[in-house]
Amino acid sequence: MKRKFLFTFFGVCLYASCLMAQQKAVSGKVTSSDGGGLSNVTVIVKGTTRSVQTNVDGSFSIQAAPGETLIFRAVGSGETSQLVGSGNVYNIKLIGSEEAIDEVIVTAMGIKKEKKALGYSVQDLGSEELMKNKTANIVNSLAGKIAGVNVTQTSGGAGAGASIILRGGTSLERDNQPLFVVDGVIYDNSTSVNGNSLFDGGSSTNSTYSNRVMDINPEDIENVSVLKGPAAAALYGSRAAAGVILITTKNGKEGTASVAVNSRFVSNWANRFPEQQNLYKRGFYQQDGTLMEGDATTTMQSWGAKFGPNDARYNNMKDFFQGSTTWDNSVSLSGGSKTGNFYLSASDFRQNGILPGTDYNKTTFRFNGQQNYGILKVGANVAYSNADQLSSLTSGGLYGYSGAGAVQGAFIWPGDMDMSHWLNEDGSKYRPFDWQQVVSDFDSPYWIMNKMPKTDNTKRLTGSLKASIDITDWWDLNYTVGIDRYMQKTNRFTEPGSGVSQIYQKGLLSENDTEFQFVSSNIMTNFKKKIGDFDMNLLLGSTAEMTNVEYNGRKGWNFIIPGFYAYTNTALTDRAAAQQKTRKRLVGFYGEYRAAYKNFAYLTVTGRNDWTSTLPIDNRSYFYPSVSGSFIFSEFIPQNDILSFGKVRASWARVGKDASPYVTNTYVVTPAEYTLYNGGTGVGVRNDWLRGNRELLPEITESQEYGVDVNLFGSRLGLEFTYYKNRSINQLMQPRTSQTTGYILMWTNAGEIVNNGLELSAKISAIKKENFRWDLTINASRNKGKVENLLPGMDVLYVTDVQVGNAKAASFNGGNFMAISGSKWLRSSEGHLVLNAESGMPQSDGLVTHEIGNREPKIFGGINNNFQYKNWNLSFLLDYRIGGHVYNGTDYYMTTMGMSNRSMNREKLTLNGVVKTGENPDKTPIYSDVKTFEYEVGKMYKVGNQDRSGEEIINSYYQEGGAYNLESANYMTNTNWLRLRTISLAYSLPKSTLSRVKAIKGLTATLTGTNLLLWTNYKGMDPETSAAGSGAVGSSSVGIDYNGVPAMSGVTFGLNVTF
């Protein structure tokens, strides 16, 4: 094995050395007509694959030989050429042809097109922009930078995932995140919650989880293109309803081999905590006013007496969270010749979390290479990653745990109890209430983090082989085969003596393995022809995909030998195991016809037909067409100083989603009550609660999109405006059915989602001087998602198990897709509170499914500024959201436990409202005039036939089940925010200095701040939150704040050296 590895290694090195050619370095600066440097100008050596882009001040460097020609292309500044002679420096001024726009962008199937020819909106980001706020998760680097892209960083935990939604959701119960494609191969971005469906209660709120696109090393990325609308993504067929994100990784450039070393050190801290009260101690008051505190009670609620001047107070919450540090190092080697290139990289990422005992570590390797053999081009991409995540239980509900989880516990731990006292001197668990049963223990968060860990290891291998042949100058053939394979192992351990269900009192070990494999094969041919003033292109292709997922889970409890924690150290009757395999196949044929007339009129027509194994035979074939076009109206306007470029565009498309595997059939299962550990015989089956459906159809999304793009004032101002309307029908869902059928749920097609939206993007070159430049981009988006035509009698749909009090994430028939449901106080027709006649407390109106809020923001976007002064660069990104409700479930829980700021209002309670005094003949209620009920501490009151103290009445008003919590909107905020997402200062050594050190080609030092400022009316933690993690199934749990790890702020010190 070692010999094979060495041969492979030396082979790669030999291959790399053969590619290196001996051209000279040609450099210079590209400027506009006013002398300002032009960034992002593409410099190409004509007839070769060599190309670079100018940096922020317009300078460039490329390998070229005398006699070769350099082509310079820029958005809105036309094209010019320069013959390379004996000189090494060429300064270019781009003037004239101001109405031209030759920017090339990567579109579906990796096809590069001129942006002016597109009939739909596509935006991309280069590596330089992505690295300005580099994070372990490339999704977070897109936040605030592209119109219509809504990113939610779910928590501040080490390795925490992020969700991304393009132009609203298209599925009521399916994944709404876009398809990721890396170097032409589909890349799985599942949220790593394996094992939950069997052993963990199905909720990802219990811990911190990653999304799998985090396996990519961000330093390897050259470009990200975001295909937001169905027309842009139609060639991907049944996977493209939610949009597509195309990631292109780096390749080597022709010339001498280059080595790049990047190193970053990051220091992070929690940026916002929930507001805690620090006036009252643990305890509670009884009805007669007796205070129960100290050893007289086992409560963890803080409804006791006020702190005295000599009482010890502990800042348990803030002392629990720690500073986080990250080391992120990467190295790459790249180079090439006239006939090929290569790129090699390795990276190491190590992060300690702000939760003690948590971390996220990742190592990656990548090789990209391509070689030309005349008309034949071959290439290979291989990437390997190994990611480890260590976390624990952050909230309650797992394994019958009676406590609150580590984060949840830290938020409500009474201020008069030392939370850090969690071990006795002999190493056993400290139990402040050791006379009660262990199952009732409220374990310290320190115990949970140290004695109830979760480990997650994911090893991933992705790769592709590509070949293309130029049969003629108008006909080429391309073939790609790709694989995406990973093995994920997740282990959970519970120390004996933890406060879990009785069955697990002697310890528990849960082991879960998931093996994912996706293999695709794609063949594509392209015909190009010019006839008179028409340029025509016909593309035909076919793809075959195979997806296999295998899950194996097992758990054992009641360890036989103390201190030996292994599955084999349990009795056969104290074990459970499960296995699940899914197989999916999909075959598709697609085509695209493009026509251009005199470079001002463009038309594109696409079509794709898929056959999937997951739908019934009669419905498994389905067709997706699209039509788009653009018209360059500026071609008909005389050249002027105002309008540089202008086009209108329009598109219509139809795409969709197929079903999950095996939903057409109904299966038998072995229920839990039959298993050995529940006293059963281990045999016996029954029908599953979920009924299959042999008549299912694919979900379909139809989209219309219209837009205008203009460049003004010599391309100093670029504007893009887009309106779209998407309708998604035939929703695949599992509504409840009558139990007389023998089932609880049934697969069916029902419901529609309608998204209407506006997007506006602006690129502004505010100042362009020889040594100073200020560029900014601004984007704003609005999407309005509505639900229509659910099943008869079905008014609301829930897709997550996240419920806090009576509040849940929901979708309402005829209402909002991203709604919040909850309960309301009973009110009279005049709007007065209807109070209980005896206690004066507000009452529920009896319904817990009111639509009380909409989590979707009214407007969201970002403002990105970039300043360049000589070798200094300063950039900062502001992102904002206007509107959109956030439900503060963390505050709800803290209030019921007496630890929130609002629970400090316990000296006096005043309630105003009416009481019911009778009924009219038509049964409508008769109410009194407005009455006032007042309660104060230190007084006794007659409530009905009971004597109750003011303390007990006021406290019970806020406690679990209390009248205050019957109005869910009490914890909801219509939220606005403006966030300084990143600010970065960079300095690059000038070439005059680098020329003295021949080995170094470039050196840049950076100082970056992340999430340093947040202006918001939200009183909780960070309003960018999602209680159920990064999975965006249905309307997801975005906007539900519930005991998550606080978001982080940080400072990064970075160094980039190129040799």
Those residues whose C-beta lies under 8 Å from the C-beta of residue 357, and which sit 6 or more positions away, are 390, 392, 449, 450, 453
How far is the C-alpha of 244 from the C-alpha of 226, rounded, in Å? 6
DSSP 8-state code for residue 1026: B
Residues 6 or more apart whose CB falls under 8 angstroms from that of 755 comprise 167, 168, 169, 170, 724, 725, 726, 727, 728, 783, 784, 785, 786, 817
Cβ within 8 Å of residue 188, ≥6 positions away: 180, 212, 484, 486, 516, 518
**Model pTM score:** 0.88
Helix (H) or strand (E) segment spanning residue 953: helix 950-958
Q: What are phi and psi of 182, to 5 degrees?
A: -115, 115
* CA dist., res. 71 & res. 62, Å (int): 12
What letter does residue 1046 receive in the DSSP assignment? P
| pLDDT score of 695 | 93
Whether 679 has a pLDDT exceeding 50, the answer reads no
> Is residue 49 very low, low, confident or very high in pLDDT (cuts 50, 70, 90)?
low
pLDDT in tens, 424-473: 999 899 988 888 888 788 899 999 999 989 899 999 999 999 999 999 98
CATH fold of 127-251+323-424+433-890+975-1024+1037-1058 reads Maltoporin; Chain A (2.40.170)
- The residue behind tokens 């003596």 is 497
* pLDDT at site 364: 97
Tell me the residue type at 548.
Answer: N
The secondary structure element, H or E, covering residue 2 is helix 2-19
Side chain identity, residue 296: A
Give the list of residues 6+ apart from residue 218 with CB closer than 8 angstroms, or none: 130, 131, 134, 135, 136, 138, 141
How confident is the model at residue 863, as a pLDDT?
A: 97
Closest of 259, 264, 273 to residue 218, by C-alpha: 264
Convert the pLDDT of each residue in 303-325 to its tens digit: 999 999 999 999 999 999 999 99
Q: Does residue 983 carry a pLDDT above 90? A: yes
CA atoms of 177 and 544, how far apart (whole Å): 22
Mean pLDDT in the chain?
Answer: 87
What's the confidence (pLDDT) of residue 1035? 79
User: Alpha-carbon distance 214 to 362, whole Å?
Assistant: 9
pLDDT at 686 over 60: yes
Element (H, E) at 549: strand 534-557
Question: Residue 7: which pLDDT band, with cuts at 50, 70 and 90?
Answer: very low
The burial of 445, by beta-carbon neighbours within 10 Å (0-12 exposed, 13-18 middle, 19 or more buried), is given as buried
SS (H, E, C) 429-447: ECCCCCCCCHHHCCCCHHH
Q: Give the pairing type, strands 42-45 and 69-74.
A: antiparallel
Tell whether the model's pLDDT for residue 678 goes beyond 70.
Answer: no
Q: What residue has token string 């630890």?
A: 899
Lowest mean pLDDT of 127-136, 472-481, 958-967, 1007-1016, name the range: 127-136
Q: Which amino acid type is present at position 250?
A: K
Is CATH 2.60.40.1120 the classification given to domain 23-97?
yes
DSSP for 135-160 reads -SSGGGGGTTTSTTEEEEE--SSTT-
Q: What is the mean pLDDT of residues 774-792?
A: 95
pLDDT in tens, 524-573: 999 999 999 999 999 999 999 999 999 999 989 999 998 888 888 999 88
Q: How do the domains of the chain map onto residue ranges?
A: 23-97, 127-251+323-424+433-890+975-1024+1037-1058
Mind listing the pLDDT tens digit for each residue in 815-855?
A: 999 999 999 999 999 999 999 999 999 999 999 999 999 99
pLDDT at 491 over 80: yes
Asked if 136 and 770 count as a contact pair (C-beta separation under 8 A), the reply is no
Distance CA(805)–CA(807), nearest Å, equals: 6
Tell how many helices (H) and how many strands (E) occur in the chain.
9, 58
* Composition of the chain by helix, strand, coil, percent to 5: 15, 50, 35
pLDDT band per the 50, 70, 90 thresholds, residue 993:
confident
pLDDT at 78: 58
- Cα dist. 1028→141, 1032, 1037 in Å? 21, 9, 6
- Of the candidate ranges 215-219, 280-284, 714-718, the one whose mean pLDDT is the lowest: 714-718
Counting beta carbons within 10 angstroms of the beta carbon of residue 876, is it exposed (0 to 12), middle (13 to 18) or buried (19 or more)?
buried
pLDDT score, position 719: 95
Maximum distance among all alpha carbons in the chain? 105
Asked whether the predicted pLDDT for residue 201 surpasses 70, the reply is: no
Can you spell out the DSSP letters for 437-495?
A: -GGG----HHHHHHHSEEEEEEEEEEEEEEEEEEEETTEEEEEEEEEEEEEEEEEEEE-
| Phi/psi at 1004 (5° precision) | -130, 130
DSSP track, 757-779 = EEEEEEEEEEEE-SSEEEEEEEE
> How many CB atoms within 10 Å of residue 971?
26
The rounded distance, in Å, linking the Cα atoms of 274 and 268 is: 18
Band the pLDDT of 105: cuts 50, 70, 90.
Answer: confident
Average pLDDT over residues 713-718: 89
Q: What is the pLDDT of residue 2?
A: 42
Tell me which amino acid residue 249 is: T
Structure tokens at 404: 């609150």
How many other CB atoms are there within 10 angstroms of residue 473's CB atom? 8
Overall average pLDDT of the 128-146 stretch: 87
The predicted pLDDT at position 96 comes to: 44
Query: Under DSSP, is residue 849 helix (H, G, I), strand (E, B) or coil?
Result: coil
Hey, is 781 helix, strand or coil?
strand
Dihedral angle over CA of 446, 448, 449, 452, nearest 10? 150
Place of tokens 């290891």: 457
Is pLDDT larger for residue 987 or for residue 684? 987
228 to each of 112, 166, 178, 231, 882, how far by Cα in Å?
A: 16, 6, 9, 9, 21
Q: Which pLDDT belongs to residue 352?
A: 95
Q: Contacts by 673-678 with C-beta closer than 8 Å and gap 24+?
A: 675/576, 676/572, 676/573, 677/503, 677/573, 677/574, 677/575, 677/576
- State the sign of the Cα–Cα–Cα–Cα dihedral 919, 924, 926, 927: positive
The share of the chain scoring above pLDDT 70, in percent, equals 91
Rounded to an integer, what distance in angstroms lies between the CA atom of residue 963 and that of residue 978? Answer: 34
pLDDT at 394: 78
pLDDT given for residue 33 in this prediction = 61
- Would you state the pLDDT for residue 683? 57
